[in-house]
Amino acid sequence: MSYPLTRDQHLELYYYMKLNRMLDEQLVRLFRQNKVVGGLYSNLGQEATSVGTAYALEKRDWIAPMIRNVGGLLVKGYKPADILMQYMARYDSPTKGKDGTSHFGDLKGRHVVSPISMLGDLVPVMTGVAIAGRYLGQNIVTMTWVGDGATSTGAFHEGLNFAATQHAPLVLVVENNQWAYSTPVAKQVPIHDLADRAKAYGIPSAIVDGNDVVAVYQATKEAVDRCRAGKGPVLIEAKTMRMKGHAQHDPAEYVPKKMFEYWEARDPIVRYEKYLTENNLWDEKTKSDFVARIEKELNDALEVAEKSPFPPPELAEQGVYCDGCHTIEAEWKRSKKEAMPPQSSVKPEWEVTDFGGFDLASTMAKQSAAAGANGGNGAKSARTVAAAQKSTGKSNGRPEKLKVAARVPFGRGPKGKEGRK
């Protein structure tokens, strides 16, 4: 591993994934008892992606989850009672019963931006958060998730282009769970790997086995470290599977039965349990202790949730607009002088290295010759540009590739071959 994990960290990854799975199962039971207000969107089969990506972040970093990223919320510090009360529309929920699913956030403590229902719209939002953090000297990384279908939205492409041109410290996780509601990936896009979307914006990408929590963590940690070092955004495609319909009302009859069987054999939690056993990281008692601990936590959380009242009717007209309800103030982590003139002043002229020409070498050679004839330094300028291209790796127009160890290959490989190494 490029980023070794301790035994405690391995077990903590299991705890979050198992908690995510058992909480999901508890919500299904509550939905069938008519205790969930609104829709219920299952995380089943995608726990490794949410948990593994969020686990690679630091406390100061920001996330913007979507409906299947409950695992990321748990890693960020939310408790099962918060999730239960949110789905049950109780007064003590994060939104006081005004909204459902994962539509809540915490800008001060946990650094969570509430989801936006229009898929893809969080990409430009989190790019903005990333740029603001850099301006304030916070050295943060932002992360958001999108599904395979969201990569076909305008906001996704505009946001990714914005992030790339601004070198924003953004990790964009594409959860390729094979279905955009009832539309398979092959009917949405003309490419097999959604990570190829990054090529159009000159940024690196990685493809990872989204059902392998350790591989997900490793790929994301590399991406996070790259972003924090100021090297710009990274797109990660996690290949996984949505093991239920779009929501509880959807039986997913459009999914081939053999496809479910294929992915069920690659269940992320079962696989990780086997990994922990084979690497002598736990025993049966440790496993049973985890299950007992989580069962107690969920039972206690449900008791708290059911004791919480529904919101009073008069609350509906409160908090719709902010009227002095909170203070918005920048959290500076560096001297403001660095961001203001004269220290922030720059020359009012852009540096354009290749002048937009087809043949950079020819253009610079002509300029060098002309400058040389006039006793100028054109030759030095040409060498400077060539050296800059070599150092950035952009002379061939190809974005840098990340080294990623996706231990279990999936799907159709290059030239129609099965698997990918």
Residues of 376-398 as b/e, b for ≥16 C-beta within 10 angstroms?
eebeeebeebeeeeeeeeeeeee
**pLDDT given at position 421:** 35
8 CB neighbour count, 10 Å cutoff = 9
Distance in angstroms (rounded) separating the CA atoms of residues 311 and 211: 39
Distance in angstroms (rounded) separating the CA atoms of residues 164 and 201: 6
Cα 128 to Cα 66, 139, 190, 290, 329, distances in angstroms: 18, 14, 30, 39, 16
Distance in angstroms (rounded) separating the CA atoms of residues 127 and 170: 6
β-partners of residue 176 are: 239
**pLDDT given at position 401:** 57
SS3 assignment, position 351: coil
Distance in angstroms (rounded) separating the CA atoms of residues 265 and 267: 6
Q: What is the mean pLDDT of each run of 10 residues along the chain (421 residues)?
A: 94 98 97 94 96 98 96 97 97 93 91 93 98 97 97 97 98 97 94 96 98 98 98 98 94 96 97 98 97 98 98 89 78 93 88 77 67 53 46 48 49 41 35
**pLDDT given at position 411:** 40
Write the DSSP string, 297-322. HHHHHHHHHHHSPPPPGGGGGSSSS-
Q: Which long-range contacts (CB under 8 A, 24 or more apart) does 314-317 make?
A: 315/91, 315/96, 315/97, 315/98, 316/98
| Helix or strand run (H / E) with residue 238 | strand 234-239
Contacts of 52 (CB under 8 A, 6+ apart): 13, 213, 214, 215, 216, 217, 220
Distance in angstroms (rounded) separating the CA atoms of residues 112 and 33: 30
**pLDDT given at position 404:** 55
246 annotated active-site: yes
Distance in angstroms (rounded) separating the CA atoms of residues 107 and 113: 7
SS3 assignment, position 112: strand
- Domains within the chain, CATH numbers bracketed: 7-317 (3.40.50.970), 336-392 (no CATH)
The two beta strands, 142-147 and 62-64, are: parallel
**pLDDT given at position 318:** 85
Rg of the Cα trace of the chain? 24
β-partners of residue 179 are: 184
**pLDDT given at position 102:** 87
**pLDDT given at position 21:** 98
**ω before 342 within 30° of 0 (cis)?**
yes
pTM of the model: 0.85
**pLDDT given at position 230:** 97
Distance in angstroms (rounded) separating the CA atoms of residues 358 and 362: 9
Contact 123, 198 (CB under 8 A): no
| Helix or strand run (H / E) with residue 370 | helix 360-373
Q: Looking at 246, 266, 275, 420, which residue is catalytic?
A: 246
Contacts of 144 (CB under 8 A, 6+ apart): 63, 64, 65, 66, 113, 122, 123, 125, 126, 170, 172, 173
Write the DSSP string, 153-186. SHHHHHHHHHHHHTT--EEEEEEE-SEETTEEGG
Question: Helices (H) and strands (E) in the chain — how many of each?
Answer: 12, 7
Contacts of 191 (CB under 8 A, 6+ apart): 197
Q: Looking at 41, 242, 271, 272, which residue is catalytic?
A: 242
Q: Looking at 254, 262, 293, 407, which residue is catalytic?
A: 254
Closest CA to 160 of 208, 203, 114: 203
242 annotated active-site: yes
Distance in angstroms (rounded) separating the CA atoms of residues 148 and 152: 8
Distance in angstroms (rounded) separating the CA atoms of residues 155 and 138: 26
Cα 58 to Cα 62, 142, 225, distances in angstroms: 9, 10, 11
87 annotated active-site: no
**pLDDT given at position 367:** 67
